């Protein structure tokens, strides 16, 4: 890139950056830039590997005295190791130690080192910290290149601030020209957050910049659709990829299978797997694990086991994710024996479990206990998996403790649930809304309104805001106890504090208790549209619960008639 073009590009910095001190410093740095013969990191890496193998080249890269005297390159690799995992503080600490040896530091590696620190900020999504380092770089006279600006983009995108990331993208485009990598980086960030709208926006911007789409860009769109549980959009973009002449690769096909899996559509997932095989795309561990996961999410343990066995027969090596999918399928089916069987089989194969594995095993034991509350071995089996996790040096977290609490509460063992709530408090583990909602729901299933109300209030006292799940459970408990006024009061309470949380499931619960006419009156009082609530499709309930299946018209009629009967009895 010529000097004249660079200066002209600086004059065309996007609005919003031109007056910023950081942008002004950036312009100044580029105006004073001079060509330099920079040794690349790869050259240093090759040299270091040659030295370690005893085959040192006769003419090492300039600055090789560093390897002999101060091991700066080895420390640079240490900075990169911390950057890979987003440990900004540790990366900065090593960088400061390197900079303290200024007399032995090779100037040509300085920019690489600071760009690596920006990489740490990007992986951690700490954009404000990245801007602080950038200002320091400019003060030190360190030249910023396209890679450094790319890390500024990435830090903004991973922080969830796509506006900031977009402004840095425009800076990079003005200074270094348009490139497809920048737009794909923005699409990847949007896909990571499951923001399909943003991913499609940046895809459109890439097309407007007259940059041709590629398999990676389409994969970002399909991945974003998969993470937003939008199978229709994923299939649409797969069709567009085919029309554009892009040959589907393994990543594309895995993403479309994952989209079906996340939607709980096992049939579509298996159909796309067949399509992949027909197009000559070989299956790998990731794709077959996704199929096992699809069966688990659909609650089909038999299909999960069949896909697992097929993958093993095809010499595909399962991993921890595969183990978790199998155990999760067994947990959803409430089959504790199957969960234990697959855990033992995978451990024999050398697969190491993690916190998700043990949480699924605890859930399986809890569901078994809920089915057979007289079997006192259920809850103790859940506790067994906790101590097994400790023996495997797996640190229990809030989700695992929530599973233990839910296991005890589901079997009616409220003293056991109380015990684990106390243990969580002593360990300073903050329980989430789902933990309390499971306690409220367990009490509600036993028609114990007093205990349900007690846990509901304790949730508030803990500073955890109750969601639609807890309110629905309270309303159902009130209905079972013929406390129709209490149910109506809870409905109005939620509608006043968080009207957007009122969904169809909660509306049906209220309608069952108070009857259709009274429900319509409550909605009018709360300023809600009763008919619109009933027409809503299934919506994800909060706190990590799976979507509840929408009721059919017949079920809706039964709910309304049951509510009318309750009203007549009252």
pLDDT at 256 over 70: yes
Which whole-number Å values give the CA distances from 376 to 222, 383, 409, 410, in the listed order?
47, 12, 13, 12
Neighbours of 250 (CB within 10 A): 14
Question: Is 362 a residue whose pLDDT tops 80?
Answer: yes
Check whether 9 has a pLDDT greater than 70: no
Whether the CA torsion 315, 316, 320, 322 is positive or negative: it is negative
Higher pLDDT: 545 or 131? It is 131
Average pLDDT for 243-255: 84
Are 127 and 159 a contacting pair, CB within 8 Å?
yes
Return the percentage of the chain with pLDDT > 70, whole number.
78
pLDDT band for 192, please (50, 70, 90 cuts).
confident
pLDDT of residue 107: 60
Q: What is the pLDDT of residues 464-486, one digit of tens each?
A: 888 888 899 889 888 888 888 99
CB 398 within 8 A of CB 429: yes
State the average pLDDT over residues 42-46: 44
> What tokens does 104 get?
């032995």
Lowest mean pLDDT among 28-42, 90-104, 415-429, 514-528: 28-42
Half-sphere exposure of 249 (CA within 13 A, CB side): 8
Q: Average pLDDT of 27-52?
A: 40
The crossing angle, in degrees rounded to 10, of helices 336-348 and 355-371 is 150
* Cα–Cα dist 114/169, whole Å: 19
Chain-centroid distance, C-alpha 23? 33
pLDDT at 3: 39
- The rounded mean pLDDT for the chain is 77
pLDDT for the residue 271 = 92
Residue 553, pLDDT > 50, answer no
Is pLDDT of 564 > 50?
Answer: no
Is 486:471 a contact under the CB 8 Å cutoff?
no
pLDDT per position as a tens digit, 416-426: 888 888 888 77
Cα end-to-end distance, the chain, whole Å:
82
Q: How far apart are CA 443 and CA 440, in angstroms?
A: 5
Alpha-carbon distances, residue 466 vs 417, 434, 438, 483, 508 (angstroms): 18, 9, 11, 20, 19
pLDDT of residue 545 exceeding 50? no
Give the model confidence (pLDDT) of 372-386 as tens digits: 654 444 446 888 898
pLDDT, tens digit, for every residue of 505-536?
Answer: 888 989 989 988 888 899 989 898 888 887 76
Distance CA 62, CA 39 (A): 7
What mean pLDDT is predicted for residues 68-74?
56
Distance CA 472, CA 252 (A): 40
How far, in Å, CA of 447 to CA of 355, rounded? 33
Q: How confident is the model at residue 398 (pLDDT cuts 50, 70, 90)?
A: confident
| Cα–Cα distance, 252 to 242 (Å, whole number) | 11
The residue with greater pLDDT, 236 or 381, is 236
Average pLDDT over residues 13-28: 41
Q: What is the pLDDT of residue 468?
A: 87
The model's confidence at residue 102, banded by pLDDT at 50, 70 and 90, is: low
pLDDT higher than threshold 80 for residue 555: no
């Amino acid at each position: 890139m010529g000097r004249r073009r660079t200066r002209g590009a600086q004059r065309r910095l996007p609005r919003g950056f031109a007056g910023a001190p950081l942008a002004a410093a950036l312009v100044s740095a580029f105006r004073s830039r001079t060509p330099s013969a920079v040794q690349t990191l790869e050259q240093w890496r090759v040299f270091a590997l040659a030295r370690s193998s005893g085959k040192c080249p006769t003419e090492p890269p300039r600055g090789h005295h560093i390897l002999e005297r101060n091991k700066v390159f080895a420390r640079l690799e240490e900075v990169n190791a911390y950057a890979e995992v987003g440990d900004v503080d540790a990366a900065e600490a090593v960088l400061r130690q390197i900079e303290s040896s200024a007399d032995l530091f090779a100037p040509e590696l300085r920019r690489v080192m600071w760009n690596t620190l920006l990489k740490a900020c990007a992986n951690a999504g700490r954009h404000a910290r990245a801007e602080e380092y950038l200002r320091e770089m400019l003060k030190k006279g360190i030249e910023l290149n396209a890679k450094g600006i790319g890390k500024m983009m990435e830090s903004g995108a991973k922080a969830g601030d796509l506006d900031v990331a977009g402004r840095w993208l425009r800076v990079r485009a003005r200074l270094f020209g348009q490139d497809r990598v920048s737009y794909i980086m923005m699409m990847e960030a949007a896909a990571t957050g499951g923001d399909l709208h943003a991913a499609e926006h940046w895809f459109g911007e890439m097309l407007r910049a007259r940059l041709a789409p590629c398999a990676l860009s389409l994969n970002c769109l399909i991945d974003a659709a998969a993470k937003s549980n939008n199978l229709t959009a994923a299939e649409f973009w797969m069709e567009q990829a085919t029309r554009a002449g892009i040959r589907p690769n393994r990543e594309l096909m895995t993403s479309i299978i994952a989209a079906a899996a996340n939607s709980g559509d096992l049939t579509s997932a298996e159909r796309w797997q067949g399509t992949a095989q027909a197009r000559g795309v070989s299956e790998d561990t990731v794709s077959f694990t996704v199929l096992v996961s699809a069966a688990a999410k659909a609650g089909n343990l038999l299909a999960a086991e069949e896909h697992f066995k097929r993958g093993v027969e095809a010499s595909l090596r399962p991993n921890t994710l595969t183990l978790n999918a199998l155990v999760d399928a067994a947990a959803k089916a409430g089959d504790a024996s199957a969960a234990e069987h697959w855990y033992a089989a995978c451990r024999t194969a050398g697969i190491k479990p993690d916190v998700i594995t043990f949480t699924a095993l605890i859930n399986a034991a809890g569901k078994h206990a809920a089915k057979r509350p007289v079997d006192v071995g259920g809850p103790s089996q859940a506790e067994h998996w906790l101590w097994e996790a400790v023996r495997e040096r797996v640190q229990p977290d809030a989700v695992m403790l929530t599973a233990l609490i839910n296991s005890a509460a589901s079997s009616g063992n409220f003293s056991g649930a109380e015990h684990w709530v106390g243990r969580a408090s002593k360990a300073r583990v903050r329980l989430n809304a789902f933990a309390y909602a499971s306690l409220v729901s367990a009490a509600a299933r036993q028609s114990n309104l007093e205990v349900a109300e007690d846990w509901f209030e304790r949730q508030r006292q803990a500073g955890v805001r109750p969601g639609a799940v807890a309110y629905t459970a309270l309303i159902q408990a009130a209905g079972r106890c013929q406390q129709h006024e209490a149910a109506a009061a809870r409905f109005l309470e939620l509608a006043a504090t968080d009207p957007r949380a009122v969904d169809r499931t909660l509306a049906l619960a209220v309608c069952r208790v108070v009857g259709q006419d009274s429900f319509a009156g409550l909605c009018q009082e709360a300023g809600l549209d009763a008919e619109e609530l009933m027409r809503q499709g299934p919506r994800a309930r909060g706190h990590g619960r799976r979507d509840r299946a929408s009721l059919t018209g017949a079920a809706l009629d039964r709910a309304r008639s049951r509510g009318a009967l309750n009203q007549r009895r009252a």
